[in-house]
Structure 1
């Protein structure tokens, strides 16, 4: 439910953009994002820091987009947010020697430190790639192409990055006891 709720503002933005244009889509995105935050707070009692950052960026750049009736402000948001995430991951890892991915997943998964570092670096590179692809599409393709990319391309890229991360993590997971028991019988 929580993951579905996170996509509703994007879906509403996409539909409104196709039906009514940039200004209306930006207004719908801002309102839906604010409602999303209210529902998350009401239903789960708290809003995660990443969700607060994203919502603040959506509201700020969405209002600029609506006011000036120009999509470029939302295009900047995607670039800035991805750059910010990459910088935070890289600074935490190389300056403070803390892979933030471990902070997020370390309670559920036990990995060697070098694996956490590689995973953290992989996600930083992913955010840089998203930023660069966003810049390329926003500068070289139509607004409609960018909206399609924002609505579906980034989600697809994130799913692929998540699957790659899962495959990477899988090799470090302990084998279940049943497999260990079968190995002992032979």
Structure 2
């Protein structure tokens, strides 16, 4: 359930973009009516409307996500705040300048923030964030925890690079599909590979 909650803005971004692609004139009308006041000026092209509308909805979804947690007096994870800041800055720039370059960079910046947090915590603060999240569920030797933390660091760093490659070498709709399905698919594959790796060490521990 938490996984779907965390993906809420991404799912809405994808859904709105796909709807706007099929209803470009309606999307153009919505963007012109609701977003013209926060754009740098000029007429919104039909081809620009889907990404601008999807970006605006993703920003609102991220704000609603954190607002809902605060209203229920739930803890807001630090990375949710980071994600909100990134979508507001890069999404806001996308809308203001009517340039999808900024929103294409957003996943990469987020992935690299994850990677940097894991790496700095392990090397500088001597704190293994992956261990902090998982040690209640499994018991592993210290070297394995360190390898696992570094593996996630490398994965997020690589995902950031891959996002840029797809974003700037393929059509916009291909990138949107990759953002929704490619990222989740690769994450799922990585988790399966991690589980296979951990199963061996968990048996050894036992």
State whether TM-score is above 0.5. yes
| 2:19 is the alignment partner of 1:19 | yes
Using the TM superposition, give the Cα deviation of residue 36 of structure 1 relative to its aligned residue in structure 2, in angstroms.
1.3
Aligned equivalent of 1:147, options 142, 166, 176? 176
| Contact 1:30 1:59 (C-alpha < 8 Å) held by counterparts | yes
TM-score (norm 2): 0.77
Aligned-pair RMSD on alpha carbons?
2.0
Q: Which residue pairs with 1:4 in the alignment?
A: 4
What is the distance in 1 between the residues matched to 2:147 and 2:134?
14
What is the distance in 1 between the residues matched to 2:90 and 2:198?
35
Aligned equivalent of 2:149, options 101, 111, 120? 120
Using the TM superposition, give the Cα deviation of residue 141 of structure 1 relative to its aligned residue in structure 2, in angstroms.
0.8
Q: Which residue pairs with 2:58 in the alignment?
A: 29
Using the TM superposition, give the Cα deviation of residue 174 of structure 1 relative to its aligned residue in structure 2, in angstroms.
5.4
Matches within 5 A, 1:25-174: 25-43=54-72, 45-173=74-202
TM-score (norm 1): 0.85
Unaligned runs of 5+ in 2: 21-49
| Contact 1:58 1:77 (C-alpha < 8 Å) held by counterparts | yes
Using the TM superposition, give the Cα deviation of residue 107 of structure 1 relative to its aligned residue in structure 2, in angstroms.
2.9
Using the TM superposition, give the Cα deviation of residue 5 of structure 1 relative to its aligned residue in structure 2, in angstroms.
2.1
What is the distance in 2 between the residues matched to 1:62 and 1:75?
9
How many residues are aligned here? 176
| Contact 1:26 1:62 (C-alpha < 8 Å) held by counterparts | yes
Which 4+ residue blocks in structure 1 deviate beyond 6 angstroms? none
What is the distance in 1 between the residues matched to 2:126 and 2:6?
31
Is the alpha carbon distance of 1:39 and 1:142 closer, same or farther for their aligned partners in structure 2, counting shifts above 3 Å? same
Using the TM superposition, give the Cα deviation of residue 44 of structure 1 relative to its aligned residue in structure 2, in angstroms.
6.1
What is the distance in 2 between the residues matched to 1:119 and 1:167?
12
| Contact 1:22 1:69 (C-alpha < 8 Å) held by counterparts | no
Unaligned runs of 5+ in 1: 181-186
Using the TM superposition, give the Cα deviation of residue 54 of structure 1 relative to its aligned residue in structure 2, in angstroms.
1.3
